């Protein structure tokens, strides 16, 4: 994945949004934006957007003195998703294909990504859940996924955002948990899930959770500090999230 000029407006919007979450001081906003603009101008376009995002959000955290600008938002979506969980679990249990329903709900959770969609609101999340449960998947390997899970000796499940990982619980509950390692970010970046979020989402109560040792808003293998040996890696966002 390379970076294109089209990524620049998104980088700057993320910067300003994060700064405004922390402070109303326009002087700080201006200072951070100037630093980000200068840094962007120095970067190679061979770097991926997540790699650039890591540097941008490091600048934001350092200049504002806030180690986790999205903490309040992450807590809000964790709570919201946990409130939905009992009803969504019943929908999984009562559906004709529980596994597919759980996969679709895990896909729907991707809407809770503040790096891609702004504004995200509870209404949009609810609409996305209903839409994802009924739409035809343009890429559908659900049965392949089921078979691979059944035959796997170990499974690495890549978590993404706070709130979203609560919906992942519904799929995890249908997997052989003794084989699963659930991975979150090593430290805060945007609204990506960390160990703290995994605890709040209740994941650590029933599945092995580890962090990937990075503050990159994504998964870049070259930067992982540690990772269990795995034979089967499934990233639902990449595999199934394309919906007509």
Provide the 3-class DSSP secondary structure of residue 69. Answer: coil
pLDDT at 23: 93
**Residue boundaries of the structural domains of the chain:** 7-64, 71-240
pLDDT digits (tens, 9 = 90+) for 92-120: 999 999 999 999 999 999 999 988 766 67
| CATH of segment(s) 71-240 | 3.40.50
Provide the 3-class DSSP secondary structure of residue 65. Answer: coil
Q: At 142, give phi and psi (nearest 5°).
A: -60, -45
pLDDT at 210: 93
Closest CA to 202 of 83, 70, 72, 69: 83
- CB-side neighbour CA atoms (13 Å) of 118: 14
pLDDT digits (tens, 9 = 90+) for 17-50: 999 989 999 999 999 999 999 988 888 878 888 8
Q: Would you tell me how many other CB atoms lie within 10 Å of the CB of residue 15?
A: 21
Distance of CA 106 to CAs 18, 162, 188, Å? 26, 13, 22
Confidence of residue 164 (pLDDT cuts 50, 70, 90): very high
Closest CA to 187 of 162, 213, 166, 165: 213
**What's the pTM?**
0.86
pLDDT at 173: 96
> Token digits for 5?
């000029």
């Amino acid at each position: 994945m390379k970076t294109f000029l089209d990524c620049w407006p998104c980088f700057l919007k993320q910067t300003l949004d994060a700064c405004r979450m922390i402070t109303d001081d326009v002087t700080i906003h201006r200072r951070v934006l100037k630093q980000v603009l200068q840094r962007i101008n120095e970067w190679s376009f061979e770097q991926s957007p997540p790699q650039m995002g890591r540097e941008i959000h490091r600048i934001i955290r350092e200049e504002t003195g806030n180690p986790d600008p999205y903490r309040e938002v992450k807590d809000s979506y964790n709570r919201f998703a946990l409130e939905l969980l009992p009803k969504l679990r019943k929908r999984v249990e009562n559906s004709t294909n529980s596994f597919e329903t759980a996969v679709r709900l895990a896909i729907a959770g991707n809407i809770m990504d503040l790096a891609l969609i702004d504004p995200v609101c509870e209404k949009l999340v609810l609409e996305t859940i209903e839409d994802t449960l009924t739409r035809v998947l343009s890429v559908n390997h659900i049965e392949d996924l089921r078979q691979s899970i059944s035959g796997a000796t170990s499974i690495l499940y890549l978590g993404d955002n706070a709130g979203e990982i609560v919906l992942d619980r519904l799929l995890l509950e249908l997997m052989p948990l003794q084989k699963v390692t659930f991975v979150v970010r090593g430290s805060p970046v945007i609204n990506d899930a960390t160990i703290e979020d995994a605890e709040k989402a209740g994941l650590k109560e029933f599945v092995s959770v580890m962090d990937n040792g990075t503050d990159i808003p994504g998964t870049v293998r070259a930067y992982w500090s540690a990772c269990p040996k795995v034979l089967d890696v499934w990233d639902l966002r990449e595999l199934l999230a394309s919906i007509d």
